[in-house]
Amino acid sequence: MSEIIQPNSPTELAAALAEANRAQRLVAPRGGGTKIDWGNPGARPDIVLSTAKLNRVIEHAWADMTATVEAGCTVAELQRTLAQHRQRLAIDPLWPDRATIGGILATNDSGALRLRYGSLRDLIIGITVALPDGTIAMSGGKVVKNVAGYDLPKLMTGALGTLGVITQAIFRLHPLPAHSQTLTAKMSTMEAAQMLMLAIQDSQLAHSALQFRTSTLDVDILFEGTEAGIAAQRKFVCTLAPFTESTPEVWSARERLWPAEAVVKFSVLPSEIASVPFTDAVIQATGIGYTKLDHARRDLDTVTILTPSKLDAWPAAGDTLALMRAVKHQFDPNAILNRGRYVGGI
């Protein structure tokens, strides 16, 4: 059974990690535990290193529209704090009430809002990471246009906790919209849905999110801004398809794919959405999609399996694998962090 350690500070976390490294004990960092089954199962850890007590919003520099937050803070708690000054971190990850900042960064989980605001790699501007040797490394800063130093924030985002343990992050923020409205249009075929999404993307509409639910042939669009601006955009988009108002819950559609034998994340060109062979999928306008497979198949070359499966969770890394292994060895030479969960058994 794995030993669970809950450090009270980044310094304590770094010390615990260094001790595990010296003893060559395997470590699994953990936040809210919402995505512990993403990627390959990996080796059983000797230690689960929890960030549960590192849960503070350290600073909300609302005038500069930045926030510094510890890795164990939930996304929902951060958003509640930012909302006091009518600001937000413009992401919509899975299970925000339980998912932590460190966890969503490690898995690079954002959502449909990335269409307008970018992914986590675009929103993070600084990071603090505990490395296996006990070093506390910092990169970036509190200035949005900071370009100094190695881009550690982007490297750690999506690394699945295999390079270091994130203890703190700094983000650029966006204003909370005064109003928002979600509309849905039911289409007759996959081809019609694809044509509609392409027409919307080619238009002058300033939508914040756009997705297609293949199980119901529904296209959802989100408008944010002033009431007058939303009304004008709604009038225009209704000339493209019979949109009607729906609830914001449609943006949580991908959460309903769980539980399943396997849930996969895939990518497809927006111009080829109609060719996707999945009958129960949620596909964002960026071409990123999610589906559940009761019998996990690899119908696309760019499939990543998120939940446990007998198949390798990752698509082929090609000639980048050697470089990825070299980076892993540089940061974690004893391979104690989440061993085996990432591409190529990293």
CATH number at residue 41: 3.30.465.10
pLDDT reported for residue 22: 98
Same domain, 167 and 278: no
pTM greater than the 0.85 cutoff: yes
Q: Which of 50-54, 122-126, 224-228, 290-294 has the lowest mean pLDDT?
A: 290-294
pLDDT reported for residue 167: 98
Same domain, 277 and 210: yes
Determine the Cα–Cα distance for residues 149 and 77; give it in Å rounded to an integer: 30
Residue 311 has pLDDT above 80, yes or no: no
Structure token digits, residue 221: 């669009």
pLDDT reported for residue 93: 97
Determine the Cα–Cα distance for residues 296 and 63; give it in Å rounded to an integer: 48
Same domain, 238 and 159: no
Q: Dmax over Cα atoms in the chain, in whole Å?
A: 66
Same domain, 192 and 169: no
In-domain check, residue 137:
yes
Same domain, 55 and 184: no
Say what percent of the chain tops pLDDT 90. Answer: 84
Band (318; pLDDT cuts 50, 70, 90): confident
Same domain, 54 and 13: yes
Task: Give the Cα-Cα-Cα angle 254, 260, 264 (nearest 5 degrees).
Answer: 60
pLDDT reported for residue 267: 92
Contacts of 219 (CB under 8 A, 6+ apart): 184, 185, 187, 193, 196, 197, 210, 211, 212, 213, 241
Q: Which of 35-39, 161-165, 211-215, 248-252 has the lowest mean pLDDT?
A: 35-39
Query: Looking at residues 76-96, what average pLDDT do you find?
Result: 98
Same domain, 115 and 199: no
More confident: 145 or 303: 303
In-domain check, residue 314:
no
Number of domains, the chain: 2
Run of H or E including 16: helix 10-22
Amino acid identity of residue 245, one-letter, is E
Same domain, 36 and 162: yes
In-domain check, residue 295:
yes
In-domain check, residue 311:
no
pLDDT reported for residue 296: 43
Residue 295 has pLDDT above 60, yes or no: no
Mean pLDDT of the chain: 93
Helix-then-strand count for the chain, H and E: 9, 18
In-domain check, residue 40:
yes
In-domain check, residue 194:
yes
Band (139; pLDDT cuts 50, 70, 90): very high
Same domain, 41 and 84: yes
Band (144; pLDDT cuts 50, 70, 90): low
pLDDT reported for residue 58: 98
Handedness of CA 305, 282, 110, 95 (dihedral sign): negative
Same domain, 108 and 197: no
Range of the domain at 194: 179-305
pLDDT, tens digit, 9 for 90 and up, residues 4-16: 999 999 999 999 9
Same domain, 161 and 184: no
CA 91 to chain CA centroid, Å, is 8
Residue 120 has pLDDT above 60, yes or no: yes
Q: Are 337 and 27 in contact (CB under 8 A)?
A: yes
Same domain, 149 and 202: no
In-domain check, residue 167:
yes
In-domain check, residue 144:
yes
pLDDT, tens digit, 9 for 90 and up, residues 240-278: 999 999 999 999 999 999 988 788 899 999 999 999 988
Strands (E), the chain: 3-5, 27-30, 47-50, 57-61, 66-70, 87-88, 124-130, 136-140, 165-172, 174-175, 179-186, 209-213, 218-225, 244-246, 263-267, 281-284, 288-292, 304-305
